[in-house]
DNA sequence: CCGTGCCAACTAACTAGTTGGTTGTCCGTG
DNA sequence: CACGGACAACCAACTAGTTAGTTGGCACGG
């Protein structure tokens, strides 16, 4: 077998939860997708809910640190983050489900808090806080990226170019 | 009884679906919340899925046209749209659920298409298309509003002020 | 008597979580 | 080398509760 069982279960669960959410996911289906056994799921992760949380923990870092933050070139960072989102729609869906079905949990996740803290600090060191407080500017930029990724009518190249332009105007 | 039965069912279903989504919602609970009867739901709406669609149809207009579009004062429009979102989180949740559990349906809804079309036309008449194509500029603005509403760490007053400032820089 | 509505019980399928029994592998002990 | 425990994993059946959707019977107003 390719990887060890807990790993395969996590991956299969990520797919299932991304497609159907917590309430819509089926434990039997996760077991089948993992090529593993139902009892292994309960042995390793305890319950469906706990498994969902572990999946999020497992993937959140991947999503947060996929694109290295660049306080100097904020428009470029935004564009690269958008590209990652477009390339990994399952992870975006996973986070949306989690936001709806486990409200507030993500905001309290240490990895998330730490990553955001570092970004704010880097941004503050680069630009200072007077023109536009770093945390709030970051919020605008991240909101813009996720928002346009959601709305996403136009083709990716246009969206990326427009996003780059928009963030340039924000920081300019 | 306050309103007629179909109306009460739609309202109760909107609450239930907004809280728990399609898969998480329970028909019995909707009946209870409506102070109505389960068979009435099936008599009027056919199935749980169809009921969900009807709820969306019923509420989509309310959410799309909640804030009259203003092509002249785009920053003000964005701020007012944000305020509506903050004031009606259930409707935002309802749309997020629908986007996940019924992907693509919303984009094909006539009301949605028409509303967007009018906005784009008004924006194009106001600013022209050369500097920034109207449809893509609108996408950026709407994406920004929904994005910051999602991310939403800071307090509403700051978020609104920052959003106003951001959109001002976009259109300026 | 017909339409609207309520109540309660019912079916049939599904679902999270459990249990018992089995196989194979690794590892330390005699 | 042989033996036996510990462990990881599989399979299948099971429990107990839930859930969408149905049916039959009753009350009331026009």
Question: How far does B34 lie from chain A, in Å, by closest CA?
Answer: 23
Q: What is the pLDDT of residues A67-92, one digit of tens each?
A: 999 999 999 999 999 999 999 999 99
Q: Name the band, by pLDDT with cuts 50, 70 and 90, for residue A150.
A: confident
Spans of all domains in chain A: 49-171
Do residues B45 and B51 make contact, with C-beta atoms less than 8 angstroms apart? yes
Tokens linked to A11: 């991956």
User: Chain B partners of A97 at a C-beta cutoff of 8 Å?
Assistant: 100
User: Inter-axis angle of helices B27-34 and B38-45, to 10 degrees?
Assistant: 100
Give the model's confidence band at A106: pLDDT under 50 very low, under 70 low, under 90 confident, else very high. confident
**What's the CA gap between A99 and A43, in Å, rounded?**
26
Which of the two residues, B104 and A131, has the higher pLDDT score?
A: A131
Q: What is the pLDDT of residues B130-161, one digit of tens each?
A: 889 999 999 999 999 999 888 767 789 999 99
**Within 13 Å of residue B147, how many CA atoms lie on the same side as its CB?**
28
CB contact under 8 A, A139 and B151: yes
Handedness of CA A145, B20, B48, B13 (dihedral sign): negative
Which of chain D's bases lie under 7 Å from a protein CB? Answer: 8-13, 19-24
**pLDDT for position A152:** 66
Task: For the beta carbon of residue A166, count every other beta carbon within 10 angstroms.
Answer: 26
A1 has pLDDT over 70:
no
Residue the block writes with tokens 């332009």:
A165
Residue to test with chain A: of B25, B96, B117, B139, most A Cβ within 10 A: B139
pLDDT in tens, A15-74: 999 999 999 999 999 999 999 999 999 999 999 999 999 999 999 988 887 899 999 999
Q: So what's the pLDDT on residue A105?
A: 85
Rounded Cα distance, B132 and A164, in Å: 13
Q: What is the DSSP string of A62-104?
A: HHHSSS---SS-HHHHHHHHHHHHHH-HHHHHHHHHHHHHSTT
Which pLDDT score is estimated for B152? 66
Give the CATH fold of the B49-171 domain: Tetracycline Repressor; domain 2 (1.10.357)
The residue among B14 and B64 whose pLDDT is bigger is B14
Candidates B139, B147, B172; nearest CB to A145: B147
Query: CB distance B140–A132 less than 8 Å?
Result: no
Q: Which of A28-32, A155-159, A168-172, B151-155 has the lowest mean pLDDT?
A: B151-155
- Using an 8 Å Cβ cutoff, are A82 and A145 in contact? yes
> What are B29-75's pLDDT values in tens digits?
999 999 999 999 999 999 999 999 999 999 988 888 789 999 999 99
Could you give the CA distance from residue B86 to residue B149 in angstroms, rounded to a whole number? 7
Q: Quick check: B165 CB within 7 A of strand D?
A: no
- Token look-up 């309202």 returns B11
Residue numbers 42-61 of A with CB closer than 7 A to any atom of strand D = none
Q: State the smallest CA–CA distance between residue B99 and chain A in angstroms.
A: 10
Report the pLDDT value the prediction gives residue B105, as an integer from 0 to 100.
Answer: 80
pLDDT band at B112 (very low <50, low <70, confident <90, very high): confident
CA dihedral of A13, B152, B166, A148, whole degrees rounded to 10: 20
pTM of whole model > 0.85? Answer: yes
Question: Which runs of consecutive H residues, i.e. helices, occur in chain B?
Answer: 5-24, 27-34, 38-45, 48-64, 74-87, 89-101, 110-127, 134-151, 156-171
- For residues A63 and B42, give the distance between their C-alpha atoms in angstroms, rounded to a whole number: 42
- B7, HSE (Cβ side, Cα atoms, 13 Å): 4
B61 CA from C2 C1′ (Å): 37
Work out if B39's Cβ lies within 7 angstroms of strand D.
yes
- The residue-averaged pLDDT of B1-13 equals 86
Strand C: list protein residues with Cβ under 7 Å.
A 25-28, 38-39, 42, 47-49; B 4-5, 35-40
- Percent of chain A whose predicted confidence (pLDDT) is above 90: 81
Give the distance from residue A136's alpha carbon to the nearest chain B alpha carbon, in angstroms.
7
Residue with tokens 């996940």: B100
Residue A52 CA to D8 C1' — how many Å? 23
For the record, the structure tokens of B79 come out as: 């701020």
Residue A86 touches chain B, beta carbons under 8 Å: no
User: Looking at chain B, how many residues does it have?
Assistant: 172
Q: Which positions ≥6 away from B105 have C-beta within 8 Å? A: B53, B56, B98
User: What is the residue-wise DSSP string for A100-161?
Assistant: HHSTTTGGG-HHHHHHHHHHHHHHHHHH-SSSS-HHHHHHHHHHHHHHHHHH--S-HHHHHH
Q: Please report the pLDDT score of residue B134 as a whole number.
A: 94
Mean predicted lDDT score pLDDT of chain A: 92
């Amino acid at each position: 077998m390719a990887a060890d069982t807990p790993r395969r279960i996590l991956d299969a669960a990520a797919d299932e939860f991304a497609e159907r959410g917590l309430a819509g996911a089926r434990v039997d289906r996760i077991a089948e997708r993992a090529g593993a056994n139902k009892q292994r799921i309960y042995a390793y992760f305890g319950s469906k809910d706990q498994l969902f949380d572990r999946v999020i923990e497992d993937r959140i870092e991947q999503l947060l640190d996929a694109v290295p933050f660049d306080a100097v070139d904020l428009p470029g960072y935004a564009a690269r983050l958008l590209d990652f989102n477009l390339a990994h729609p399952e992870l975006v869906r996973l986070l949306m489900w989690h936001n709806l079905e486990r409200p507030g949990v993500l905001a309290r996740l240490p990895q998330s808090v730490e990553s955001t803290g570092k970004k704010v600090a880097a941004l503050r060191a680069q630009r200072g806080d007077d023109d536009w407080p770093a945390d709030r500017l970051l919020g605008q930029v991240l909101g813009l990226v996720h928002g346009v990724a959601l709305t996403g009518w136009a083709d990716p190249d246009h969206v990326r170019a427009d996003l780059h332009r928009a963030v340039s105007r924000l920081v300019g």
